[in-house]
Amino acid sequence: MGKSMDLVIRNGVVVFPDRVEKADIGVIDGKIVEISQEISQDGKEVIDAAGKHIFPAATDGHVHFDDPGRTEWETIKNGSQALAAGGGGVFFDMPLNSSPCTLDRVNFEKKLAIAKRDSVCDFGLWGGLCPTNLDKLEELAECGVVGFKAFSCFSGIDEFPGIDDYTAYKGMEKLKKLNLPLMVHCENDGITGKVTGLKNAQNKTGVKDYFEAHAPITEIESISRMITFAEETGCKLIIAHVSTAKGVELVTEARKRGVDISCETIGHYLILTDEDVERLGTLGKCSPPIRDAANQQKMWGKLFNGEITFISSDHSPSDPKLKEKEFMKAWGGISGCQSTLPAVLTHGYHDRKLMLTKVAALTASNVNEVFHIEGKGKIQTGFDADFAIVDLDKEYVLDADSLFYLHKVSPYVGMKFKGQVTQTIVRGRTIFQDGKITAVSGGKLITPARMS
């Protein structure tokens, strides 16, 4: 007799990497130990998932939970709970907008202590690359960062300056040696800064002025430049939140030439259009901005054919007061981490017939593969028992009360969804069930496997 099961999930339809099939799942010590048509033994806990689909819990590779230091914007506690409510089991927290930013070991450790105390999800931590911390990359790598984030433009946060060309080039040289990826927020600073200045001087501060200042060319030029540095240095490059189909095309072309490159997009670029932003006002402000419907349709095409590697939320809230300004001057950032998986199910699977295996790849397995996170993101024996149990045909309208964010605002409020997360499990432990968070902490640090 083997060890008895801690958890058995019966009768669910399981979304495996290559097929969708009814199966039972057995869990011991937080890991999947058996997958079969029927597990005869009982577990200490048994979940009957009849009528439900079991996805790998989502990994959100890009969130800003703002601990420590900007906890009036968002917190790891609230953010991780919101993620769990949307079927997420893991997040990678950005080095900003926390204050101090994660630019060295000391501040990595400060954030780590808070995440261990407050996160219900497992988590990876990003390090930052700025012109001021080229000498700190090794120590951050030793800490176990999942990768490094940089901005080619103003980041919105004074303590996190954008990179100049020298920093991009030298930083990538160093990260190649450290075998860690660089993710870049790509927008051309010269054009965006100049147009923003001119617009502000003329008191033109509306939504259309913002779109002009952040026109597609600003993203496209910056992506091209970063690809050039990556091609030369051999550094693994990830383009952050690509908003334009042309941007994705550049990534695909580079990949075909042998550049080690991938890209993420964000739920809001797939679901909202520029017209929605005009309606929503500053609630829908982000950078790069949400583009037009023709571009969005092309983005879906690129998602279907595998050109986009993974989908994140770029959950980036602020103090609500910073949104109560003229469009140009308001905070750029959208709250959305509770809605990514439901949005992809609604607009991808139900509306466009995106296969469930692809949904799982885009929300869970691809991101873990890109970052060399072992044992996460797939329903497979030996992997962590991280699941999102979903009632796939259940329809609901998202109301603000059901949000776990510190500030209960999101452009997704009032939107119809089809596909409701009913339970989220991380390493065999239920952290969210039927609208309620069922854990107070328990998340652990995830670090990449690094070849020496």
Q: Which residues make up each annotated binding site?
A: 62, 64, 149, 185, 241, 314
Closest CB to ligand 3AL among 332 and 348? 332
What residues between 311 and 330 interact with Zn ion by CB under 5 A? 314
The residue among 122 and 314 lying less far from Zn ion, judged by its C-beta, is: 314
Chain residues 95-134 in contact with ligand 3AL, contact rule CB under 6 A: 96-97
Contacts to ligand 3AL from residues 137-166, by CB under 6 A: 155-157
| Residue whose C-beta lies closest to ligand 3AL | 286
Residues 297-356 that bind ligand 3AL (CB under 6 A): 314, 316, 332-333
Q: Which residue from 10, 53, 64, 302 is in contact with ligand 3AL, where contact means CB under 6 A? A: 64
Q: To the nearest whole angstrom, how small is the minimum distance from the Cβ of residue 218 to ligand 3AL?
A: 13
Binding at 413: pick from ligand 3AL, Zn ion, none (beta carbon under 5-8 Å per type): none
Q: Which of ligand 3AL, Zn ion, none binds 10 (CB below 5-8 Å, type-dependent)?
A: none
SS3 labels along the chain:
CCCCEEEEEEEEEEECCCCEEEEEEEEECCEEEEEECCCCCCEEEEEECCCCEEEECEEEEEECCCCCCCCCCCCHHHHHHHHHHCCEEEEEECCCCCCCCCCCHHHHHHHHHHHHHHCCCEEEECEECCCCCHHHHHHHHHHCCCCEEEECCCCCCCCCCCCCHHHHHHHHHHHHHHCCCEEEECCCHHHHHHHHHHHHHCCCCCHHHHHHHCCHHHHHHHHHHHHHHHHHHCCCEEECCCCCHHHHHHHHHHHHCCCCEEEEEEHHHHHCCHHHHHHHHHHHCCCCCCCCHHHHHHHHHHHHCCCCCEEECCECCCCHHHHCCCHHHCCCCECCCCCHHHHHHHHHHHHHCCCHHHHHHHHHHHHHHHCCCCCCCCCCCCCECCEEEEEEEEEEECCHHHCCCCCCCCCCCCCEEEEEEEEEEECCEEEEECCEECCCCCCCECCCCCCC
From the list Zn ion, ligand 3AL, none, pick the one residue 53 interacts with, judged by a Cβ distance below 5 to 8 Å according to partner type.
none
Kindly determine how many residues on this chain lie close enough to bind ligand 3AL according to the rule CB under 6 A.
13
| Nearer Cβ to ligand 3AL (161/428) | 161
Binding site listing for Zn(2+)? 62, 64, 149, 185, 241, 314
With CB under 5 to 8 Å by kind, the binding choice for 332 among ligand 3AL, Zn ion, none is ligand 3AL
**Min CB(361)–Zn ion separation in Å:** 22
- C-alpha–C-alpha distance, residues 11 and 385, integer Å: 16
Question: Phi first, then psi: what are they for 404, rounded to 5°?
Answer: -100, 0
* Closer CB to Zn ion, 7 or 266, in the complex: 266
Are 326 and 391 a contacting pair, CB within 8 Å? Answer: no
Cβ closest to ligand 3AL, residue 80 vs residue 313: 313
Nearest CB to Zn ion, comparing residues 33 and 186: 186
Indicate the residue among 60 and 314 with the shorter CB distance to Zn ion.
Answer: 314
With contact defined as beta carbons under 8 Å apart, do 287 and 211 qualify? no
Q: Closest approach of Cβ 350 to Zn ion, in Å?
A: 27
| Stretch 65-84: interaction string toward ligand 3AL, x if CB under 6 A | --------------------
Q: At closest approach, how far in Å is the CB of 116 from ligand 3AL?
A: 23
Closest approach, Cβ 182 to Zn ion, in A, equals: 14
Q: Interaction with ligand 3AL in 239-298: which residues (CB under 6 A)?
A: 286-287
Applying CB under 5 A, the residues found at the interface with Zn ion are 314
Applying CB under 6 A, the residues found at the interface with ligand 3AL are 64, 96-97, 155-157, 185, 286-287, 314, 316, 332-333
